[in-house]
Amino acid sequence: MISRVIQKDKPKETIFKSLVQDYFLENPMSNEAVVTIQKSKRSDAQNRLYFYWVDILSKEVGYSKDEMHLVLADKFLPKIEFTTKKGKKICQIPSTTKLSIDEFIDYICEIEMFSGEWGIKLPHNQDYKIAVYNEYTTT
């Protein structure tokens, strides 16, 4: 896959031309390609929904909001693990801000299913509809 960052207020012709040229150089047997444009980060609605749910869960289980955020990330996100040059092993919870839109949707769906196991029903407000359903129909 080849991708380029496109900025709203910058010229785009050169970017698209290089994208196409690079693709066909790397894939000489291909006769066609599909160009997809997607948002580069999660929406405000996704962010509001997530932190609304974090707030609810933190109150239900007795953690602070920051602690609940870390507990959820630790439970559902793959850890970043590596060994330093001096041999020290590092294991870190990744930031949710680094997730793609699809990864973030999967993440909040995991949280919703897991909260049901705790007997906690998370509300579905307007942000839920925007955060989950609209993201799938507009990408």
Sketch the domain layout of the chain as residue ranges. Answer: 1-37, 44-138
- pLDDT at position 109 over 70: yes
CATH assignment of 44-138?
A: 1.10.3790.10
The whole-angstrom separation of Cα 58 and Cα 55 is 5
Q: Tens of pLDDT along 22-37? A: 889 988 999 998 887 7
User: Coil, helix or strand for 80?
Assistant: strand
| Averaged pLDDT of the chain | 84
The whole-angstrom separation of Cα 121 and Cα 124 is 9
Q: Which helix (H) or strand (E) holds 14?
A: helix 13-26
48 contacts: CB under 8 Å, gap ≥ 6: 127, 131
Q: How many CB atoms lie within 10 A of CB 122?
A: 19
- 54 compared with 34, residue with greater pLDDT: 54
